[in-house]
Amino acid sequence: MHYPSDVLVMGSGLAGLSYALKVADFATVNLVTKRELTETSTAKAQGGIAAVLGPDDRFEYHIQDTLTVGEGLSHPDIVELVVRQGPERIRELVGLGAHFDVGKDKNFDLGREGGHSHRRIIHAHDMTGAEVERILSERVLAHPNIRVLEHHMGVNLITEEKVVRRGRSVINRDATCLGAYILNTRTGEVDTFLAGITLMATGGVGKVYLYTSNPDIATGDGVAMAYRAGALIGNMEFVQFHPTCLYHPEAKNFLISEAMRGEGAVLRDRQGQAFMEHYHPLKDLAPRDIVAQAIDAEMKKSGADCVYLDISHKPGDFIRERFPNIYQECRKFGYDMAQEPIPVVPAAHYMCGGVVTDDLGRTTIHNLYAVGEVSMTGLHGANRLASNSLLEALVFSHQAARSAKEILPGLKKPTDADVPEWNPLGATDSTEMVVVSHNWDEIRRCMWNYVGIVRSDRRLTRAQSRIDLIKQEIEEYYWNFLVTSDLLELRNIATVADIIIKCALSRKESRGLHYTLDYPRRDDGHFQKDSLLSLDGWR
Ligand SMILES: Cc1cc2nc3c(=O)[nH]c(=O)nc-3n(C[C@H](O)[C@H](O)[C@H](O)COP(=O)(O)OP(=O)(O)OC[C@H]3O[C@@H](n4cnc5c(N)ncnc54)[C@H](O)[C@@H]3O)c2cc1C
């Protein structure tokens, strides 16, 4: 089946929803999302959105904080663009009906987070993302110009050069995107979605790692699709890890807030010894990345599966009142944190790199845009300032919509005659899904052990050779059997793992979120530049 529209949007987090709403005023939109509409990282965001809204705050301060955390790789023009638009984009959200917490003075109750010099985090209790997702999805579902298709998963982008002209070369210096092949995961059919403009808003890559705070949808599909189509990808070595996720086989993705350490919780090894004093003068209150590195070092040293976070020395009533949600959640898994330490591990949390875009969200493929966590705009550089990611998605969905308004009238829309149907090439139903689950586990474990928080050339090279083998096996498998969402996600995490390793190996220094034992210092002379990679090679 062919599904034409002016604009195709892949993804229903903040980036996809807010873009769809904006372009629907002048265009028809097909919005596909691979699970339920609100199954997104956006819906899980707790802290809030950073913007200059307080009386003492200034754009210059927010710009400086972002640049400082980005460690020399944030692009100053993009930082300025994002920061200056912040208040206006927040006002738009409020105009749509989003409710954020206000203080007694009726002004926004602004929170403060690590790395911010001023209070500037607008929030809805500790469920900001859920509130934003709620209001945007309501509006999108009610819009007559937007058709929403849940359980529809992007398989591959359709580019004129590769699919239509069937060019032998995989490298498209001047490729044009015409839409995407989309798998209906309920029926198993792959349909052709044609569009003048395609926007990827497919979110992050957390599932590439064994432990992650991300929901199951975060398998890096957008990065993998764009890479296969020839787009430029950047800075994928910069993966942010959250120091403390609950360690329990059934407690998938449950974050233990850093506020616990703020209230006196202490990290201990399995012998009960506190260890943070060996790593930083601030001990348990050291910056997030140092804490994650320390936990990783302790686990690698002892071979233990986790470390322990202990707040049991505080009165039980205080703990239950200050952390009601975390307390209840831990009880569900059999831990009473008022009585005993709880097991924790660091977890992959946010990808600073992604599909390279300009200030309008345009990728290096014509008519293909990327917004949100899937993109690399130049905002974050080598590390992300807390709560800047939702802001980035808001600002860039606006920028990309502005660009769409300008170019759509002049675009020749692709027609059915231009594009062949998806061809399964004689593939049959798989009888060996065990191969998929085995490789899935192997990739995630390999990335966790060798390409995690603390890296070395030896670990990275070992990971590279394993991932090469797995990729080869997947490619053979992929062409023989009909595509399923599991198989597609496996292929995508393998591609993303490969890109992360390549970027990490190429950066012979430590900077921001990339820490390697072989080159423990920052080297501005050689490496104050983005890592930019496409099928073509390095740029
Ligand atoms: C637990 C947690 C807490 C966080 N807290 C904060 C915070 O307080 N402040 C902040 O700024 N950031 C926070 N972040 C980060 C932030 O939430 C994300 O970076 C942001 O929500 C990403 O938005 P997005 O629209 O790009 O992607 P997402 O919200 O993840 O949406 C991605 C969408 O793409 C769809 N999709 C994926 N692949 C395909 C495919 N192949 N085909 C079709 N659809 C596809 C998914 O189904 C989903 O609908 C947090 C993240 C997590 C996980």
What does the pLDDT look like over 54-83, one tens digit per residue? 999 999 999 999 999 999 999 999 999 999
Q: Which of 42, 225, 252 to mutate to test the pocket of ligand 1 (most atoms within 8 A of CB)?
A: 42
- Quick count: other Cβ atoms within 10 Å of Cβ 270? 15
Strand partners, 538: 533
Ligand 1: nearest atom to the Cα of 375? 26
Total residues found in the chain within this entry: 539
For residue 499, give Cα distances in angstroms to 233, 234, 273.
9, 9, 38
Return the pLDDT at 168. 41
Return the pLDDT at 171. 45
- Quick one: which H or E segment has residue 18? helix 14-23
- Quick one: which H or E segment has residue 350? strand 342-351
Q: What average pLDDT is seen over the chain?
A: 93
Return the pLDDT at 179. 97
- For residues 233-268, b (16+ Cβ closer than 10 Å) or e, as one string? bbbbbbbbbbbbbbbbeebebbbbbbebbeeebbbb
- Quick one: which H or E segment has residue 524? helix 524-527
C-alpha 393 to ligand 1 mean position (Å): 10
Assess contact for 206 and 218: CB atoms under 8 A. Answer: yes
Assess contact for 462 and 469: CB atoms under 8 A. Answer: no
Rounded CA separation 55/367 (Å): 41
Structure pTM? 0.94
Average pLDDT over residues 24-48: 95
Rounded CA separation 358/366 (Å): 12
Who has greater pLDDT, 494 or 259? 494
Ligand 1: nearest atom to the Cα of 388? 11
Percent of the chain's residues with pLDDT above 90: 79
Q: Is 288 a catalytic residue?
A: yes
Return the pLDDT at 169. 41
Average pLDDT over residues 289-294: 91
Q: At what angle do helices 485-506 and 221-229 cross, to 10 degrees?
A: 70
pLDDT band at 440 (very low <50, low <70, confident <90, very high): very high
Q: Which two tokens stand for residue 396?
A: 């860039």
- Using CB distances shorter than 6 Å, the residues near ligand 1 are 10-16, 32-35, 39-42, 44-49, 128-129, 153-154, 201-204, 213-214, 217, 221, 255, 350, 372-374, 387, 389-390, 393
Which 3 state secondary structure label does DSSP give 295?
helix
For residue 52, give Cα distances in angstroms to 57, 63, 117, 327, 380.
6, 10, 11, 33, 17
For ligand 1, atom 37, name the residue with the nearest CA: 202
Rounded CA separation 282/311 (Å): 17
Q: What does the pLDDT look like over 116-155, one tens digit per residue? A: 899 999 998 878 999 999 999 999 999 999 999 999 999 9
Rounded CA separation 492/224 (Å): 5
- Is 17's pLDDT higher than 50? yes
Ligand 1: nearest atom to the Cα of 11? 34
Strand partners, 396: none
Return the pLDDT at 162. 64
User: 396: which DSSP letter?
Assistant: H
Assess contact for 70 and 150: CB atoms under 8 A. Answer: no
Tell how strand 537-538 and strand 375-376 pair up. unpaired
Return the pLDDT at 167. 45
Q: What does the pLDDT look like over 452-508, one tens digit per residue? A: 999 999 999 999 999 999 999 998 888 788 889 999 999 999 999 999 999 999 999
- Is 425's pLDDT higher than 80? no
Q: Which two tokens stand for residue 476?
A: 């053979």
Rounded CA separation 63/78 (Å): 10
89, 120, 288, 507: the catalytic one is: 288
C-alpha 201 to ligand 1 mean position (Å): 9
Q: Which of 17, 31, 35, 40 to mutate to test the pocket of ligand 1 (most atoms within 8 A of CB)?
A: 40
DSSP string, 202-266: ----GGGSSSBSS-TT-S-HHHHHHHHHT--EE-TT-EEEEEEEE--TT-TT-B--THHHHTT-E
Using the structure block, give the residue that is written with the tokens 């959250």.
242
Where would I find the H helices in 303-432? 316-322, 324-332, 388-407
